[in-house]
Amino acid sequence: MKKKIILASSSPRRKELLAMAGIPFTVDASPVPEIVPEGLAAEKQSAFLAEVKAAAVSVSHPQDVVIGADTTVICEGRVMGKPKDAEEAREMLAFLSGKIHTVYTGVSVIYSDDADAETFTSATKVEFYPLSQKVIDEYVATGEPLDKAGAYGIQGRGCRLVKRIEGDYFTVMGLPVAELLQRLEKLAKKGKFSW
């Protein structure tokens, strides 16, 4: 059965990656607040939120394929979402300076009106160079860190902070697009949908 693909996110990076991969889609951003249950393991939070976002949007699109995603940065046990302001962005970047952290991007694909979901998490390790206060201040002044988990965008000016990565670059951008395609193709082969 041919179905439309709906991205349950307003993230420009996720839209760009889906378009780059040649996946036809429309956007219906999830209105769900990003709240996780108390006690949920840090590395499971992004998958939980991805599924919640996809489920919320699938209510309005029961016949379509809905993709939800969420990204979390974890360093030394600390979960870092989007900074609330420039001051918090500076503090996050100072904390990440010279360290290795892990970026988790959870993805959930809801593909039937019975809310069948394929949910997975991709993890990538990122090492930052030691950052001077000047570099941090200059980067925060661009405004780029304010809507990004961990207060940086690897695909933008934040590229100057990154010494190396181990894993999928696109996971750090917010959508492990190759793995998502593999899963969509597998579901299509099983006859769950076509696009």
**Ranges of the chain whose pLDDT falls below 70:** 113-115
Parse the chain into domains and list their residue ranges. 5-189
pLDDT of residue 115: 65
Residues 177 and 106: their CA atoms lie apart, in Å, by: 11
pLDDT of residue 188: 87
- pLDDT, tens digit, for every residue of 109-164? 998 766 688 999 999 999 999 999 999 999 999 999 998 999 999 999 999 999 99
Task: Give CATH for domain 5-189.
Answer: 3.90.950.10
pLDDT of residue 112: 76
User: Under a CB-based contact definition with an 8 Å cutoff, are residues 34 and 40 in contact?
Assistant: no
pLDDT of residue 114: 66
pTM listed for this prediction: 0.92
pLDDT of residue 193: 74
Look up residue 53 and give its amino acid: K
- Which residues are identified as catalytic? 70
pLDDT of residue 21: 92
